[in-house]
Amino acid sequence: MAHINQDLLRPDGEDNYGGVSSEHIYYTYLRDILTFPKTNPNATSYKEVGTITEDFVFRAGGKWNKFEAIPETISIDSNPVGERAGRSYENKAQLDFAKITPEAIGFMRKNANSGMVWLMMDNNGFWRIMGDRRIAAEISEGAATIGKKVADLNKASFTIKSQFEPPPVYAGTLPDGTKPVYP
């Protein structure tokens, strides 16, 4: 990909909220995706490089599954890794699920070694993809605690890890059948 000569300006006067919406998190399994959307290889702007506009195409039976996290416990961090001239990114999302139910235990057990793809909406309204067609996202850490005192939080915590590029913005069809509208 050729260099892009473009200014990158601060969004002056615009909202800039941290975090991820606890009501807008979905996961699926890489093996259930027939066609994984890609960024435009002929992109001429940073926006095009960072946005995927194609849709996910699922195999028969594949779909997005909803994951409801505890509000204000979800983060996504991207950090460069590797040596000079060979850098990529490692991304981590932290999710907390309230109450150690049988379903939460089952999710932890069945997905400890699953190749996954996650779709999450940040609090600015941008949908982010965690996972890649080459290497799926994985649950790299998981812990459960029922606490010691009544006031302690009973929860399962998950760290989702993905690689290659910062989680791109997704502009394809969402789980509810609509397409996001971005500025």
Task: Specify burial of residue 148 (Cβ count, 10 A radius: 0-12, 13-18, 19+).
Answer: exposed
Does residue 11 belong to any structural domain of this protein? no
Does residue 158 belong to any structural domain of this protein? yes
Is residue 132 within 8 Å of residue 163, measured between CB atoms? yes
User: Is 80 exceeded by the pLDDT of residue 1?
Assistant: no
Q: What's the CA gap between 46 and 49, in Å, rounded?
A: 5
pLDDT tens-digit readout, 77-134: 999 999 988 889 999 999 999 988 999 999 999 998 999 999 999 999 999 999 998 8
Strand-pairing partners, residue 139, are: 160
Contacts 24+ apart (CB under 8 A), 76-80: 76/20, 76/120, 76/122, 76/128, 76/130, 76/167, 78/166, 78/167
18, two tokens:
């941290």
The DSSP secondary structure of 73-130, one letter per residue, reads: --EEEEEEESSTTS-EEEEEEEEEEES--HHHHHHHHHTTT--EEEEEEETTS-EEEE
Q: Which structural domain range is residue 102 located in?
A: 20-170
* Radius of gyration of the CA atoms of the chain, in A: 17
pLDDT bin (cut points 50, 70, 90) of residue 152 is confident
Does residue 177 belong to any structural domain of this protein? no
Q: What is residue 10's predicted lDDT score, i.e. its pLDDT? A: 83
User: Is 70 exceeded by the pLDDT of residue 11?
Assistant: yes
> What is the mean pLDDT of the segment spanning 167-176?
95
pLDDT bin (cut points 50, 70, 90) of residue 64 is very high
pLDDT bin (cut points 50, 70, 90) of residue 29 is very high
pLDDT bin (cut points 50, 70, 90) of residue 137 is very high
Q: What's the CA gap between 171 and 93, in Å, rounded?
A: 20
Question: Which of left, alpha, beta for 27 (phi over 0: left; psi -120 to 50: alpha)?
Answer: beta
The mean pLDDT of the chain is 92
Quick one: which of 144, 141, 64, 68 has its CA closest to 106? 144
Does residue 7 belong to any structural domain of this protein? no
3-state secondary structure of 49: helix
Q: How many domains does the chain have?
A: 1
pTM as predicted: 0.91
